[in-house]
Structures are given as C-alpha cells and as structure tokens.
Amino acid sequence: MHSRRDFLQKLTATAFTIPLVSTVVPEVFAERTNLYQNEKVLKVALMGLGSYANRVADAMRDCKRAKITGVISGTPSKIKDWQGRFNIPDKNCYNYENFDAIKDNPDIDAVYIITPNALHHPQALRVAAAGKHVICEKPMSINAQEGREMIEVCKKAGVHLLIGYRMHFEANTLEIVRMRREGELGTIRFFQGLSGFKIGDPTQWRLNRELAGGGAMMDIGIYAINGARYMVGEEPIWVTAQEVKTDPVKFREGVDETITFQLGFPSGAIASCLSTYNMNYLDKFYLNGDKGFAEMQPSTGYGPIRSWTHKGRLDLPHVTHQTTQMDEMAAIILDGKKAIIPVDGEEGWKDMVIIDAIFESIRTGKKEEITYV
C-alpha cells in the first residue's frame, strides 16, 4: 500500500541535486535558540496512533519544549506498544470513549489530533471542553462551517487551536517568504503549486468520503492552497476549478481524483494549481515577481526541501519538520510566541473556505467569489 506519507518520504529522499550557488541562513535559526531558554515543556497526548503519529512521535524525541506524555487510541495493542516505546503510564492512556477524563489529568496540556479528517471536528470540541489545548492535523475539518465552530469553541474554552502546518516553520519556506516580504522578488505576479501522487490501496480511509470529506484535495491539494496564500502573501478572492476523473470505481462520488484550480488575488496576482491522486512526482512551488523568482522542488515533502531563486541555490539546513513544528507550537502555547506564518485556527479555516469554493466552482462550472465570513 502506498500512502501520502510514503510518497513524500521517497520523493524528498531521491530529489535531484543542482550545484550549490549560494546559501542563506534565515533568522529563524537564531530565533529557535531562544526557544530553549525557557525550560517549561508542553505535555502532549497524541490521538490516533497511525503512521503519521509514529512520525510525529519519533520526531518529538529531539524536541526541547514538547514531550509525549499520553496517548488516545481505539486499539489496545497500539496503546501497549506505545507505552513501552515512550514510557507512558497507564493513567495517561485513553480510548475514544473515555478521553474526556483528560480534564483531570495534569500530565497532559495539549492533545494532537491525528485521526481521519471527519473526526477532527467532534474530537476537537471534546478536547476543548476538557480544557486542553488542541493541535489538529490538516485539514482542520471537512468544511468551513465545522472549522468555524472549532475556533469558537476553543476560544470560549480559553484554549489554543493550532493546525499542523509543519511547512510554516521550515527554513527554505521562511527564507522565501522573507524575500517576498522585503521586496526582493518585486511585485508578485504568479504562483504555481503542484501537489499529487498516485494513491494505492482503494480501501483506505482517504478514499472514503465519510471519513475523508473528499479525496486528493483534502489530503495533498491543501498544500497548494495553503502555499499559494503564504507565498503570494494575500488571500484569494476568486476561484475557478475543474475536475477530471479517470477511475470512477476507485474514486467514487464525492471523492476527487484530480482537480485543477486557479486563484485570483486582490493585487491582480494569479495562481495555477493541481491536486491529484493519480500522478506521481508532483511536489513543486514556483513564485514569480517582476524582480525575481523562487522555486521549490520538493516543496512540501518531509525533507530535505530543495529551493533556489534568481540569486542562486538556498537548500538550507534540514531539521526534521515535526521536531521544529512541535517546539515552535510549544513556544506559541507556553510563551505566547507569534508564528511568522500563522498556524492558528483562522489559518486552517481560510483553507477550508477556499476548498468549499473550489468544490462549488466544480459544481456550477463558474468562477466563484471567495468571502471570509
């Protein structure tokens, strides 16, 4: 079985190499040193112990500010295995029926929800009701309405809601965003985002509309949407979209196989993007301005990210994305740090607003305005 996780790992591991022209070390590396000055550690329970949770857990072994202290799973054998690997006591282990009891557990500050997409909304509401901070994998929900409710419930409960946008802390990404913000690329005119791979096992939950809320768009296409926003530095105001389906058996009604979509921004910049479960080797961002360009390929895989601009190669030092993400999120929750590229609930909600508009454009065959209300 081939999954997105396998694809991203293999793609980045076998990325082609171009001779290094120049290396720029962004300020983010200096800033990360400050994370370790405060010894307070975020105590995290992982909910859903699948392949990505294992990746997060392994990465967190190197965290300075975040530690796994609990687990939540519907599979007792997984819990037993994780207890042995991460020295988790029985009192910090829960299932999906009883995890509301974390309310009375001081060993858990936050819960990282890594379950199928359709479960994010109800589980986040329960975690917030228990008074714990919510870290939720993307997409945060299956539509914008659910995302908005998650934001409001967490706000009312006085807890943080953060979305697992690991690329928002990645060095190459941050350097290109810095260049764009400081005018080194000039006026931004165009963005291209290509996100896709050929999915395997047709029985997996990612091809189940009830659990996934869609198909490729919810899984891999959201990288192109989110990337368009932070690379261009604006929120899109219109979208046109087209769907192509070559295998209606594997990709049933409501499960998208391939979608191309175009975004328009207030400045006049445009984006052209592709989301697919039927083509391999698609992990590329390209940003064009009237003074320069930036390109990344791979752009969102697990690393190392390869990047270059009109000034030469970047290819900044690789740190495991989930390690950086969890340390930075700990600083956001514990210290009130502000992320350079936001990872809060509003950030996740805007992606859902755009996804809703993409699906609506496919339904109507028309250009759809995007409104963030």
Structure token pair of residue 317: 């030092």
Residue 37 amino acid letter: Q
CA 191 to chain centroid, in Å, comes to 19
Q: Residue 270's beta-bridge partner residues?
A: 190, 264
Say which DSSP state 92 is in.
G
Structure token pair of residue 326: 């969890």
Task: Please return the burial class of 289, using the count of CB atoms within 10 Å of its CB with bins 0-12, 13-18 and 19+.
Answer: buried
Residue 139 amino acid letter: P
Catalogue the active-site residues: 138, 223
133-136 and 293-296: which strand pairing?
Answer: unpaired
Q: Do residues 4 and 10 lie in contact, with contact meaning Cβ atoms separated by under 8 Å?
A: no
Q: Where are the beta strands (DSSP E) in 51-132?
A: 66-72, 93-94, 110-113
What angle separates helix 117-129 from helix 144-157, to the nearest 10 degrees?
20
Task: Please return the burial class of 2, using the count of CB atoms within 10 Å of its CB with bins 0-12, 13-18 and 19+.
Answer: middle
Q: How far is Cα 18 from Cα 77, in angstroms, rounded to an integer?
A: 45
